[in-house]
Amino acid sequence: GESVGLHLPTLSVQEGDNSIINCAYSNSASDYFIWYKQESGKGPQFIIDIRSNMDKRQGQRVTVLLNKTVKHLSLQIAATQPGDSAVYFCALKGSGSARQLTFGSGTQLTVLP
Amino acid sequence: GAGVSQSPRYKVAKRGQDVALRCDPISGHVSLFWYQQALGQGPEFLTYFQNEAQLDKSGLPSDRFFAERPEGSVSTLKIQRTQQEDSAVYLCASSLVGLGGEQYFGPGTRLTVT
């Protein structure tokens, strides 16, 4: 089956520093990966995605890196701001017909003033 | 434009009661997903609709869980004879296309079974 894990359940960073959140996955057949941000009381919000034919993708202040050799995914947030405090989930698209998302357990990012 | 909405936002049920959770997807979105999120965990897939057809219900934890989307728009997740382990946030997501596309999540319904 598919499983998604994260290296750290919590991460604290100083405002203005860069944040790196890591994720490992087991299903080598996965071809689409997404990072979500979830604030308290809200549903997950799409941040950035990457397909398996890429190893890096950049957005506004965020970069996702994919290493298919070691089945590792990371999210880098530049110049972390207080509004970035949330739980971050990596997710992968399943290989089933529904293409449902399989989520990791999440990393709580806390931005310190 | 309006996003995915869910109601109620909070539901407290006594063990053994039936509950119905509603999801209003983004207008025109073909696909609709239900997920269950336990406290401190990531969402877990329950079931998937493409228009009115329920194409995958492999994630439903028991036959007490039932979902429908009769007109291909609004969906209802029903849980019969609720048990304490059903306590969780139930998230609904919709996407524009059938087998891919970004999933947009609603705020969820927090169900507490006492």
Residue of B nearest to A35 (CA): B102
What pLDDT shows up at residue A3? 60
Say if the Cβ atoms of A43 and B100 lie within 8 Å. Answer: no
What pLDDT shows up at residue B15? 98
- In 3-state terms chain A splits into helix, strand, coil percentages (rounded to 5) of 5, 55, 45
What pLDDT shows up at residue A5? 64
The dihedral sign for the CA sequence A83, A88, A90, A96: negative
Mutate to test the interface with A, among B44, B51, B69, B105 (most CBs of A within 10 A): B105
Phi–psi pair at A84, nearest 5 degrees: -85, -10
Residue of B nearest to A43 (CA): B107
Mutate to test the interface with B, among A25, A30, A100 (most CBs of B within 10 A): A100
Q: Which domain holds residue B24?
A: 5-113
Q: pLDDT for B18-66, tens place per residue? A: 999 999 999 999 999 999 999 989 999 999 999 999 999 999 999 999 9
For chain B, what is the total number of helices (H) and then of strands (E)? 0, 11
Say if the Cβ atoms of A97 and B106 lie within 8 Å. Answer: no
Number of domains in chain A: 1
What pLDDT shows up at residue A69? 92
CA separation for the pair B29, B52 (Å, rounded): 11
Of A42, A100, A103, the CB nearest to B42: A103
Is residue A95 very low, low, confident or very high in pLDDT (cuts 50, 70, 90)? low
Residue range A88-113: mean pLDDT, rounded = 84
The residue assigned the tokens 């405002």 is A15
Compute how many other C-beta atoms are within 10 angstroms of the C-beta atom of residue B58.
Answer: 12
What pLDDT shows up at residue B106? 97
Exposure string (b/e) for A50-89, b if CB count within 10 Å is 16 or more?
beeeeeeeeeeebbbbbebeebebbbbbeebeeebbbbbb
Q: pLDDT for B57-84, tens place per residue? A: 999 999 999 999 999 999 999 999 999 9
Q: pLDDT for A4-23, tens place per residue? A: 765 568 999 999 999 999 99
Task: Kindly report the CATH number assigned to the domain that includes residue A30.
Answer: 2.60.40.10
Number of domains in chain B: 1
How far does the CA of residue B41 sit from the closest CA of chain A (Å)? 5
Task: Kindly report the CATH number assigned to the domain that includes residue B106.
Answer: 2.60.40.10
Interface of B with A in 5-64 (CB under 8 A): 33, 35, 40-45, 48, 55-56, 58-59
Q: Which domain holds residue A87?
A: 4-112
Is residue A1 very low, low, confident or very high in pLDDT (cuts 50, 70, 90)? very low
C-alpha pair distances (Å), A38 with each of A42, B42, B105: 6, 10, 10
Residue range A37-46: mean pLDDT, rounded = 95
What pLDDT shows up at residue B67? 98
For chain A, what is the total number of helices (H) and then of strands (E)? 0, 11
